[in-house]
Amino acid sequence: MSRIGAFTARLYRGEVGYDFVGKRKIWYSISVLIAITAIVGLAVRGINESIDFKGGAVFTTPKTSISVEEAVNDAQSASGKTAVVQKLGNGSLRIQIAEITTKQSDPIKAELAKDLKVDQDAITADLVGPSWGSTIANKAWTGLAIFLVLVVIYLAIAFEWRMAVAAFVALLHDIVITVGVYALVGFQVSPGTVIGLLTILGYSLYDTVVVFDSLKEQSKGITKQTRYTYAEIANQSINSTLVRSINTTVVALLPVAGLLFIGGGFLGAGDLNDIALSLFVGLAAGAYSSIFIATPLVAELKEREPQMKALRKRVLAKRAKEAQAAEGGEENDGPGLAPDTGVTPAVAGPRSRTRGGRASGSGSSGRRR
């Protein structure tokens, strides 16, 4: 077995691990810093909504040698509005101009044909009314709100309310980061973005539920033992599913990265950027939140219960007693549990020489020396 395989096997069995829960304040601080950056970007730059939300027109030109920068200047000069231009794979241009009416579209189309040196009839114009865009926006946010409510209800029933709260916080964490990145990068938010956002929230929830299910299974009858606290069992749950979480996240990110960097970047398929960026950022944020936010937050909430506080005191008291016994050089006078192992140690006694393959003083008929 390779070193990586051996390490992952030991990690799964709980023989090695990292203290995610114990260092939760570090992860909280990192998340707060990222969230503040995202919120500031959102407040300063705002969301660049597509015409599907604001209404407007999309002009598609035939193949032209005009650059994207020149087309942006021409479109903004013709319309007096901000324009978004994308170079398509066949050399044509896709020009989006928001908040223009049907009456305004024909003069703009004629001006574009003149500036871009193409036939006016060869330019197609698709109009989106502002009322339709407003309806789409309302339905998108309503669908997102319904999704979050159903998630909380399901987790509260299937697990407990503390896990529901932790999962809800993790999902909000993912939404804030994803929307903030869109604001900072300046990509348009389209219906495809909302679809991608709902997709990554489902993925993030799935990853979180896997850890929660492991935690629920390992914490059964936790108050009947004195080996581990709830936080330690929660940490074991994260470590036991860590390899799986990393593998699934990497496998999911690879095709999304292909959509974002190859499809949207090199091939010029700009429509892919709308959904690919939300998937890429959301998948990474979802994997992070399920490991570093959701489960540590559950452990923190759970350890505030009186039963878990009492368990923690018993566990720490037992460990202090065992440490004191070890430092004092005390020996066990009979069978008992070794510290934190549950293994019955052998009876301690003075060593003796062997004779004829048998230990003297062990009940044999040989003479003692």
Every domain of the chain and the residues it spans? 3-49+132-309, 56-128
Cβ–Cβ < 8 Å for 317, 300: no
CA-to-CA dists, residue 336 to 222, 228, 296, 319, 333, angstroms: 21, 18, 34, 15, 9
Beta bridge partners of 44: none
CA torsion 113-115-117-122 (nearest 10°) is: -20
Q: Is the pTM of this model over 0.85?
A: no
Q: Do domains 3-49+132-309 and 56-128 have the same CATH topology?
A: no
Report residue 80: phi and psi, to 5°. Answer: 75, 10
Q: What is the DSSP letter of 349?
A: -
Candidates 3.30.465.10, 3.40.920.10, 1.20.1640.10, 1.10.150.130; correct CATH number of 3-49+132-309?
A: 1.20.1640.10
DSSP 16: S
Spatial separation of the C-alpha atoms in residues 351 and 359, rounded to whole Å: 9
Two tokens, residue 285:
């944020």
Q: Which fold has domain 56-128?
A: Alpha-Beta Plaits (3.30.70)
Exposed, middle or buried, 133 (CB in 10 Å: 0-12/13-18/19+)?
buried
Q: Could you read off the pLDDT tens digit of each residue along the chain, which spans 369 residues?
A: 566 666 666 665 656 678 889 899 999 999 999 989 989 988 888 887 777 777 788 888 888 878 888 888 888 888 888 787 877 767 788 888 887 877 888 888 888 888 888 888 888 888 877 666 667 777 877 888 888 888 889 888 888 899 999 999 998 898 888 888 888 887 778 777 877 888 888 888 888 888 898 888 888 888 888 888 999 999 988 888 888 888 888 888 888 887 777 765 555 555 666 778 888 888 888 889 988 999 999 999 999 999 999 999 999 999 888 888 888 765 544 444 344 433 333 333 333 333 344 444 444 444 433
Give the model's pLDDT for residue 27. Answer: 92
Q: How far apart are CA 318 and CA 109, in angstroms?
A: 81
